[in-house]
Amino acid sequence: VYSHEPPGYVCPFCNLDAAGQLPGNVYRGERASAFISNRWWPNNRGHVLIVPNAHHENLYDLPAEDGYAVFDLTQKLARAMREVYGCDGVSTRQHNEPAGDQHVWHFHQHLFPRYRGDRLYESAPIEGSAPAEELARYAEILRAALAAV
């Protein structure tokens, strides 16, 4: 129900390597994984996407166990991000269907570092993909923070 995935869709979040997301890989768990998004907002660089490993398009049909794994990983990363990004807060968002701003047809939760006056909601994302070395730099910082917890 309410599916927008076209026939033959090659899912970028099931094929992180092909999609050039691997440099930003932060964590691979049994049910959920996290990586630095390669689509950046100007004042909130290095934000994280948390996804179920299994392919599910959106919130309506996500199995509970996957939803719980996404929650656990989001919380862990929220704590880690708050410690090591130098941000003043964090926020999440999760989009369903084109009218809900969804662009990739695999459930994903955004976790943003927040800074005073960052105007996240009024900003447009930066065009193009963030550079691989920048993805790798943020991923490395977060991985180290996770390991230290």
Q: Is 57 in the site for a copy of itself (CB under 8 A)?
A: no
* Contact pick of 3, 75, 125, 144 for a copy of itself (by CB under 8 A): 75
Distance CA 128, CA 83 (A): 28
Report d(CA 144, CA 149) in Å as an integer: 9
- Considering the rule CB under 8 A, would residue 91 count as an interface residue with a copy of itself? yes
- With respect to a copy of itself, which residue has the nearer C-beta, 97 or 140? 97
Q: What is the DSSP code string of 27-69? A: EE-SSEEEEE-SS--TTSTT-EEEEESS---SGGG--HHHHHH
Beta bridge partners, 113, equal 90
Closest distance to a copy of itself from the beta carbon of 39 (Å): 15
Smallest separation (angstroms) from a copy of itself to the CB of 131 = 26
Smallest separation (angstroms) from a copy of itself to the CB of 100: 3
The token pair at 51 is 């996804």
Name residue 27's beta-bridge partners: 34
Among 3, 5, 18, 68, binds a copy of itself (CB under 8 A): 68
How many amino acids of this chain bind a copy of itself (CB under 8 A)? 39
Structure tokens at 4: 């927008």
> Would you say 28 or 119 has its CB closer to a copy of itself?
119
Among 55, 84, 104, 115, binds a copy of itself (CB under 8 A): 115
